[in-house]
Amino acid sequence: MLVRNLFRNYLTGPIPSFIGKFTSMQYLSLSFNPLSGLLPKELGNLTNLLSLGISSDNFTGSLPEELGNLTKLQQLSASDNVFKGKIPAYLGTMTNLEDIWIGDIINGVSPLAFISNMASLSTLILRNCKISSDLGAVEFSMFKQLKLLFLGNNSLTGKLPDGISSSLKVIDFSYNQLTGSIPSWARQNNLQLNLVANNFLLDTTSESTLPWGINCLQQDTPCFRGSPEYYSFAVDCGSNASIRGSDDTIYEADPTNLGAATYYVTGQTRWGVSSVGNAIDAKNIIYSSQPFQNVVDSELFETARMSSSSLRYYGLGLENGNYTVLLQFAELAFPDSQTWLSLGRRVFDIYIQGKLPDERVIAVKQLSQSSHQGTSQFVTEVATISAVQHRNLVILHGCCIDSKTPLLVYEYLENGSLDRAIFGDSNLNLDWVMRFEIILGIARGLTYLHEESSVRIVHRDIKASNVLLDTNLIPKISDFGLAKLYDENQTHAWGLYEMDQALGIVDPSLKEFDKDEAFRVIYVALVCTQGSPHQRPPMSKVVTMLTGDVDVAKVVTKPSYITEWQLRGGGYSSNTTSSYAWSSNPELSRQKEITEVSLQVR
């Protein structure tokens, strides 16, 4: 197997250690999944890897030393996780690396000198990595291929280098401790350079070298010191013209299309904005043609500014005192455009909290046009589903079909989805006892749908994002009866089961758990995925198996959907020819295309 692209597949749990057996693999992308736990040292066995993507997951711990074995690696994307400790020194010996994305390391102090021998670098992103070093420790003129350099949000000191490679087009040194003056290379045409929030000494020459206003965006904010002029400002983000609000507030225009490392200060020096990061597309201002109803000053919501990494607005020359900051947002959805697709939206992904006239709090979901049903069929099905009520099912109040993208109106559940509680930024700490009760609740809800309701409903898309938690952590299944309208996304634990490592899928953050209960949960899940209906137990029996009242049958057959998935070209088949192209995500921005790939697994 040469390629495994699992980008944005909603995979959960840790990376299994048996991944180290795929030693012929050259490209592995696991980014944008709710994966978690430590990186297995067995990744170091993949010595033929050319590209490794593990960004925007939930990995913890440090980058294992064994990754230093990947001497052929050309691309490493490991940002937006919860890694700890230093950036490993062995990266400096991996001289074939061309693109590095590492960010958001939560502790540990790293030097920058490890990059000194990495002459092949084309992209280097080390944002918020706790790098504490004098910038003079690196000779930046030696990087003849380097085009993009992001070193913002660190603790870099010293002066800007006297010279840089002419290949550099985008540089971010923002939010460091840099001092001194601005060198002449900053005048290069087509160079994007963000130096905000440092301690540079800026004279008239320096200010003329850089875009207007950089002196006002240093850490000591020297503009208007001792003589403030303003006590408020308002901005209509991304707009081409100023707008007067209904309360007579003047919202200033914000039309400048900012690049990957740029800033802008208004001519009146009233406010500024800084943007860092490669935008999803060429523009970082988006426009909505959708009318906004039932809002005051709806024209304020027709534009928005996007940034893939950091977007900051600064008020300048303000009087000392306490201020009220008012941020107004509208949810912009573009189901018919490339913008919508590039944001990676799923079928149900837009949640809006509101209230009905009777004061009931509700959650509204927008339904994508990927539904294949007509309006009348959709309404009939929603009416059927809304009549189904159980302690472990989300209440569906109704729907709205006035637009091309129907809306579903659900009860509002304060603790959000189960996947957010386990993998996201939730403050809930679910121990094993709580999780086992949630599992039982889900099983009881499915039992009602399958066997007890007057209308038999098969969910077909049970996953953590489709389970919501109320204030008492009672699980409630959502989207039942609708999942059959959409493509399915399947993951499995069969490989671990075959290797007698079934407990490897248990969340490593659980320091204590009942192994017998965990085994039962895993075995029941595998029994429920058997191909023959005669091998799958009814949900009422599933509940009794989970509680231990009935023994769990031994799993002996590979779940049929795995075999079907493989036959469709998605899995472990030998001598299978396929076409593969990288997804449009940051770690794969160079758009490498691979054709005629032979998938071979031993």
Residue 252 burial (CB count, 10 A) = 16
Alpha-carbon torsion 229, 253, 195, 185, what sign? negative
Listing from the earlier edge strand, what are the strands of the sheet with 82-83? 36-38, 58-61, 82-83
Catalytic residue chosen out of the listed positions 57, 80, 236, 461: 461
**How many CA atoms are closer than 13 Å to the CA of 370, on its beta-carbon side?**
19
Host H or E run for residue 522: helix 515-527
- Dist. CA 68–CA 60, nearest whole Å: 18
Beta-strand pair 271-276/310-315: antiparallel
The position carrying tokens 């989805």 is 417
Q: What distance in Å separates the CA atoms of residue 1 and residue 516, rounded to the nearest whole number?
A: 35
* Residue (of 231, 251, 253) closest to 240 by Cα position: 253
Q: Is 549 an annotated catalytic residue?
A: no
Q: Work out the end-to-end distance of the chain between its first and last CA atoms, rounded to an integer number of angstroms.
A: 9
Pairing status of strand 99-103 against strand 123-127: parallel
Q: How many residues does the chain have?
A: 602
- Among residues 208, 306, 312, the alpha carbon closest in space to that of 257 is found at 306
Q: Is 359 exposed, middle or buried (0-12, 13-18, 19+ CB in 10 A)?
A: exposed
Please name the residue that has the structure tokens 């711990």: 61
Catalytic amino acids? 461
